[in-house]
Amino acid sequence: MGRLQAIKFKKANGGLGRTAGATDNVSLLVIAMSIAGSSLVYGQAKELLEVKDAEVFGITEASDANNKTLAYHHISENFRLAPESTLYILPVEANSTIQTKIDVTLSALKINRAIKGVGFVGFKNDLSTLPGEVDTIQTALVAEAAKEGIDLDYVILEGRGAAAEILINDLPDLSTKNAPTCTVVIAQDRDVAALDVANAKYAAVGAYLGMINVRNVAENIGSVNIEKKPEESLSFDTYPLTSSGTGRFINVGISTGQSLQELTNVQIKALNDKKYVFAAQYEAEADFYFSNSPTCVTVASDYCYIERNRTWNKAKRLINRTLLPKVKSKVPKDPATGFVRTTTVSNWETLLEKALDQMVNADEISGYSLFLDAQQFPDEETPFKIQCSLVAHGIVHEFEIDLGLTNKI
């Protein structure tokens, strides 16, 4: 039966202020490996949502043992520590040159643009050569990716131990490099290293990716606790590398082959000062944690920690997504001055505030400032200039306490 229409409803969306699911924790693991017996193709990235996905492609503990690699191990460590992350894997031939692995990585990043960071494992470069390559990787990979509109939050490099022993005192100081996106990991699970002599000098890049991917963009990868734990860890007040259930990071060392017990406090401080990532214990704490989240650049740089890169890049992505629809749009002018109309500037400012408020509400920044000056004449040759500053969270690395006894308060 037909009816007269008096009131029409349209279902509105967006009033609750919800945003699309975050994609901060998406990594690419570039692995030098054999693909024999798998369905993988060299140079083609595959998306994994859980460790079982790797098994579908033929990457298993057995294939690790047969091929004398640790592909499955690194993948499983990422998902052990960050079960809700997304990991792309990119198989590369073991004898690939540095330029070849960079080229195939760039190709994968152009296709899979949700990726936020990259880890490299299984390659033959080690601590005797790798420190000399980080600036090249920064220039040839990170800078080239940026030209394609791809901002990498981090590049994690496996600091494999060299065939000839290198003393800690002789390791190059990575703070003298100019690679603010690159990080060198030398932490090692010695029980994994003992499985095969071919992997005796490996470094725990898969675990480091997991510890990045489980964290908020503003969290330090060495933090003892994390803000959003996986469900099975909710009852604990720490989030260590150590897992008695899986036997991981019980016996810990560095990729040179030394155990943590062999290292003195002076050597540990030297490794930290030289910006190598290792795993260690805190006083009165049995479990192990990564030492820090340094990048290969001077400590005077604003981007000497991974979390600062992640924070800056996330803000850039939000701002870009907000302003892109306004590019080449008409700009009403104040007829009396010829400047941009203040109502237009206010609209842009409101949109940017809404975007950056997401980071404030997610506790990723402490605050921000915006300045949009209406007294501008934007055209094809003159961009409209906006000033934006983020108030990044600080990180407490150490407490100093005066503790004494007294007869009375």
Cα distance between residue 362 and residue 105, in whole Å: 31
The count of C-alpha atoms lying within 13 angstroms of the C-alpha of 124, restricted to the half-sphere facing its C-beta, is: 7
Residue 342, C-beta contacts closer than 8 angstroms, at least 6 positions apart: 334, 374
The mean of the pLDDT values for the chain is 93
Considering only CA atoms, which of 309, 313, 270 is closest in space to residue 293?
A: 309
Over the stretch 343-383, which tens digit does the pLDDT of each residue have? 999 999 999 999 999 999 999 999 999 999 999 999 999 99
On whether the CB atoms of residues 329 and 356 are closer than 8 A, the answer is no
Two tokens at 73?
Answer: 């191990």
Residue 349's pLDDT is 97
The candidate with the shortest Cα–Cα distance to 399, out of 286, 302, 283, 229, is 283
The low-confidence residues of the chain, meaning pLDDT below 70, are 1-3, 5-22
DSSP label at residue 385 = P
User: To which residue do tokens 């006083």 refer?
Assistant: 283
What is residue 6's predicted lDDT score, i.e. its pLDDT? 65
pLDDT at residue 218 in the model: 97
Q: 180 phi and psi, to 5 degrees?
A: -70, 5
Predicted TM-score (pTM) of the model is 0.93
**In sequence order, which residues have a C-beta less than 8 Å from that of residue 295 and are 6 or more positions away?**
154, 179, 180, 181, 182, 183, 275, 301, 303, 304, 305, 306, 309
Q: What is the pLDDT of residue 18?
A: 45
3-state secondary structure (DSSP) of residue 363 = coil
What is the Cα–Cα distance from 74 to 389, expressed in whole angstroms? 37
CA of residue 216 relative to chain centroid, distance:
10
pLDDT digits (tens, 9 = 90+) for 257-305: 999 999 999 999 999 999 999 999 998 789 999 999 999 999 999 999 9
Report the distance separating Cα 201 and Cα 184, nearest Å: 14
Contact between residue 182 and residue 296 where contact means Cβ atoms under 8 Å apart: yes
Residue 54, strand partner residues: none
Instruction: Write down the pLDDT at residue 22.
Output: 59
Q: Phi, psi at residue 255, to the nearest 5°?
A: -70, -10
Distances (CA, A) of 17 to 307, 315, 327, 349, 361: 26, 18, 24, 17, 11
Give the phi and the psi of residue 30 in degrees, each rounded to 5: -95, 120
Domain edges within the chain:
26-296, 309-391
pLDDT value of residue 284: 78
Look at residue 12 in the predicted model and tell me its pLDDT.
58
